[in-house]
Structure 1
Amino acid sequence: VLNLTREFMGFPRQLGQHTGGFVITRGKLFNLCPILNARMENRTCIEWNKDDIDALGFLKIDVLGLGMLTCIRKAFDLAKQHYGLDLTLANIPQDDPAVYEMICHADTIGVFQIESRAQQSMLPRLKPKTFYDLVVEVAIVRPGPIQGDMVHPYLRRRNGLEPVEYPSKELEEILGRTLGVPLFQEQAMKIAIIAAGFTPAEADELRRSMATFKAKGMVQHFEKKLITGMLERGYKLEYAQRVFRQLEGFGSYGFPESHAASFALLVYVSSWLKCYYPDVFAGALLNSLPMGFYQPAQLVIDARNHGVVVKEADINYSFWDNSLEEKSGKYCILRLGFRQIKGLRM
């Protein structure tokens, strides 16, 4: 029984549809691989998983839809219509202290990426004050850094409770911005090349092994080579083992720095909108649901807590979407639309 059980280790538990994986081929898919009908109308899926597709040389790309992009676009439209603002992702005022103060107080209901309970509990401890702090915030509350024991060392060093030390000048150049703690996949690749003697191709294999949701154990393939390479270059065994444990954590879910930076931009823009135009932000957010962690009622309560007058849906005044009316005090009145009434459909 034990032998049979071991053979099941690593097998898929159930079927699941990839969130945004697309395969691009020259010919028709049904001539190249088995396909099946998905639950969604007019949607088909490949019966193989992404690792099989990659092994067979198919071109697979991830096209993930972000509801917050829709929300921000709608917010920009409302801001132009009611406040005469011509906003874009590029011209939102940067490094605004009021925005970061709001973030540090975890006043982030509806804000992209940092609205979850886990993120809200981290914000007062990390205390983001700059854009790169948001990059770190996005990346650090992930299974990879948590399982790799990177979170607490980073927080202790950031708050001055632990000295920041680097075993070599080369590693200081790699890990300086993250206080000696590897938080991103790019850092892991550079450590492997500079501190352990990996070739760029081997470092890329390491990156692939750290890709999200890979089967457990793939990073361990590099353990001996990484530790041996670091020992040969004068690093202590304890430090080499700690580095490997941290990199091993990326096998669960580690972020590329470029990915975290792109997300951090949306974090800041959505925070700025919530901070200065909560009426616009709430209206756009409600018009972009379903997305995020919160129900419409919670978003309405939060808007009222920020000084927005919210009026119920009215056959004489409401549209299908939530809309903004004349100002009541500092902000426009948010009129709920018919889309908020349960049971109504367009």
Structure 2
Amino acid sequence: QVVVTQYEMHAIEDLGLLKMDFLGLRNLTIIEQTLKLIASIHDIYLDISTIPLDDAKTYKLFQRGETTACFQFESGGMRRYLKELKPTELEDLIAMVALYRPGPMELIPSYIRRKHGQEHIQYLHPKMEPILKNTYGVCVYQEQLMQMTRDLAGFTMPEADTLRKAVGKKIKSLLDEQREKVISGMLRNEIDPRTAHAIWDLFPPFARYAFNRSHAACYALIAYQTGWLKAHYPTEFMTAVLAAESTDIEKIAFFVEEARAMGIEVLPPDLNESLADFTIVSPMKIRFGLGAVKNVGTNIVDAIITERMRGGKFPSLTDFAERVRHKDFNKKSLESLIKCGALDTMGERNRLLKNLEMILEYNREAQRTRLGGQESLFSFTPAMQEVASLQLAAAQEAGRRERLQWERELLGLYVSAHPFQDYAERFKEKNVLALKDLTLDMRNRMVAVGGLVSGIQKKITKAGDPMLFVKLEDLTSRTEILVFPKMLAKNPAVWQEEKVLYIRGRVSDKDGLPKILCEEAVEII
């Protein structure tokens, strides 16, 4: 037995005990899984703590803003700043982790200009230069604030920490007390009164913005490690990312899109190739895991994979139905496996669905035979197996659009193809903008785009009118379309999932991501 107790943090601090926070990060699991894949595929055993911290290929990835799935650097706003900053060392990443928060974010443009020599750096006192030089004269970290009080005012480390807390909490009585101590200390160190007062005036805003450097350094190091793995082992890294997010269909769709943008092909599930999680099948190909299929539980997935490992691949539908013996080999799981394409090598999807009850009955009979201690009557020779094979009734083939809808329903995205492919050439003729080319630099510009409606969220405005947030996707990317009440009232019927639309509107940079404020929408039949 383990005894666990809990106390309020300030009481613990007052007693002189050390308080520690332990955070669980999924990114550490992703790093660990990527290293395992590299070891199993390439026979290379990497120690992530020893990778070079000056790798040009990794910094190029950050400079291009290609940091999806890189810890702390995934948001649209952060990627935009990375493209402007063009980081060249770990110090840049540490600073960005500290600065990209409400408040200090306003210092980022100045930090970027100073790094590129476009803004003059001035220090109020020569002793401040060695403290702030690494961050181009911008006070980014709490440790810098504390070091200034030590070097300029002669504070001890505990006194410097008391000042940090006092300024951070904005307690006037404490601030007045600390102000006198800091200025007096600077005067004793022969800093003239005018400079001393000017330096103190910097402390309150510095403390309000300053971030813990050790915390930022830990996060930046993990970010760099994920970036390094993405740059050098992209397929292994994205496989680990997809496996880590396998229970979240929305995130899977997002990361599959990122993998494809990197030139990695993501294949549908396959009964004879897929494991439970996403699997690498060749240097630039990832196979969907059976565990990512909606309505297919872990028990039946484990049963399928265990039997395949034991007896080899399933050469036919008959063999599959006879060998997999589990109570979850049922209508729900089998229907989902068929619809998503996992059984495509064994028959056309609609034909398999029309014969679903026959397949399930064959499986039940096979299980009863096994439980009775008998071998299959037809398992002795290939000729006998042929006679015993399932004789499926004919059925009309499922249409392409229907197959793709099944994939999206069960996998969260279109895998084998995309419905928009049928319209791509027509939109090229209209000279519309590909969604991947939509950027924040186009803010307030009128643009024309085309795509498939893949999601609609309805909101009610403060005035009580409905408006829509519409997800639109083409073959290159996806974006959000904002449909305000007046625009919605003009043609409400056009806004339905699966419809292909031509849209004109102005680009917005709300939330640091390019979006379109719709001014015209036309359905393309």
TM-score (norm 2): 0.50
Distance of 1:99 and 1:220 partners within structure 2? 48
Moved more, 227-236 or 192-201: 227-236
Corresponding position: 1:126 with 2:82: no
Query: Within 5 A, what are the aligned runs for 1:271-310?
Result: 271-289=227-245, 295-310=251-266
Corresponding residue for 2:206?
246
Letter in 2 for 1:134: L
Give deviations 1:49-98, integer Å, cap 9, x for gaps.
Answer: 43344345554311111211110110011111112322221343442222
Give the direction of change, closer, same or farther, for the CA distance of 1:236–1:61 in structure 2 (3 Å limit): closer
| Alignment pair present for 1:142 and 2:98 | no
Given the alignment of the two structures, is residue 225 of structure 1 paired with residue 180 of structure 2, yes or no? yes
- When the two structures are aligned, how many residues end up with a matched partner? 289
Equivalent position of 1:151 in the other structure: 108
Which residue identity does 2:170 align to in structure 1? G
Aligned to 1:177: 134
Return the alpha-carbon distance in structure 2 between the equivalents of residues 93 and 249 of structure 1: 31
Q: Which amino acid aligns with 2:45?
A: D
Equivalent position amino acid for 2:152 in 1: A
Distance 1:334 1:289 in 2: 15
- In structure 2, the partner of 1:16 is none
Is 1:99–2:58 an aligned residue pair?
A: yes
Tell whether the 8 Å contact from 1:227 to 1:244 is kept in structure 2 after alignment.
no
Query: For 1:320 and 1:344, how far apart are their aligned partners in 2?
Result: 10
Q: Deviations over 1:86-126 (max 9, x none)?
A: 22213434422222122111111101111122321221122
Contact 2:121 2:137 in 1 (8 A): yes
**Matched letter for residue 298 of structure 1:** F
Deviates more, 1:71-80 or 1:150-159: 150-159
**In the alignment, which residue of structure 1 is the partner of 2:288?**
336
Return the letter of the residue paired with 2:204: F
> CA 1:94–1:52 in 2, change beyond 3 Å: closer, same or farther?
closer
> 1:267 is aligned with what amino acid?
A
Name the aligned partner's letter for residue 134 of structure 2: R
Q: Which amino acid aligns with 2:69?
A: G
Specify the code of the residue in structure 2 equivalent to 1:125. E
> Could you tell me how far apart the structure 2 residues matched to 1:64 and 1:209 are?
27
Q: What amino acid is the match of 1:314?
A: D
User: For residue 72 of structure 1, what is the aligned residue in structure 2?
Assistant: 31
| Matches for 1:307-318 after TM superposition, within 5 Å | 307-318=263-274
Q: Distance in 2 between matches of 1:291 and 1:255?
A: 34
Deviations 1:132-183 (A, max 9, x none): 222222222133633xx54343223123222112222211111111111111
Q: Aligned in 2, Cα 1:56/1:345: closer, same or farther, shift over 3 Å?
A: farther
Residues in 1 aligned to 2:246 and 2:9: alpha-carbon distance in whole angstroms: 27
Q: Which runs of 5+ in 1 are unaligned?
A: 1-26, 31-45
Relative distance call for 1:191 and 1:296 in structure 2 (3 A) is: same
Do the aligned partners of residues 221 and 57 (structure 1) sit closer, same or farther apart at CA in structure 2, a change above 3 Å counting? Answer: same
Contact 2:140 2:209 in 1 (8 A): no
Q: C-alpha deviations, 1:201-221, integer Å up to 9, x for none? A: 2112234557xxx7x425983
SS in 1 for 2:20: strand
Could you say which residue in structure 1 is the equivalent of 2:226?
270
Contact 1:150/1:246 (<8 A) preserved = no
Instruction: Flag the 1:225–1:338 CA change in 2: closer, same or farther, 3 A.
Output: farther
Distance 2:77 2:29 in 1: 24
Give me the whole-angstrom Cα distance separating, in 2, the residues matched to 1:66 and 1:220: 39
Relative distance call for 1:273 and 1:51 in structure 2 (3 A) is same
Question: What's the CA shift for 1:345?
Answer: 4.3
Conserved? CA contact 2:246–2:291, under 8 Å: no
Superposed displacement of residue 200, structure 1: 2.2
Q: Tell me the equivalent position of 1:39.
A: none
Q: Distance in 2 between matches of 1:80 and 1:28?
A: 39
Cα distance in 2, alignment partners of residues 140 and 305 from structure 1: 29
- Which residue type is aligned with residue 84 of structure 1? D
Indicate the SS of the match to 1:267: helix
Q: In 2 relative to 1, CA 193–204 (structure 1 residues): closer, same or farther, beyond 3 Å?
A: same
The answer to whether the 8 Å contact 1:313/1:338 transfers is yes
Q: For residues 169 and 291 of structure 1, what CA distance do their matches in structure 2 show?
A: 55
Residue 112 (1) aligns with residue 67 (2): no
| CA shift in 2, pair 1:104/1:219, >3 Å | farther
Q: Which residue of structure 2 aligns with residue 50 of structure 1? A: 9
Q: Structure 1 length normalisation: TM-score? A: 0.74
Superposed displacement of residue 227, structure 1: 5.9
Q: Helix, strand or coil for the counterpart of 2:203? A: helix
Counterpart residue type for residue 149 of structure 2: A
SS in 2 for 1:180: coil
User: How is 1:10-29 mapped onto 2 (pairs within 5 angstroms)?
Assistant: none
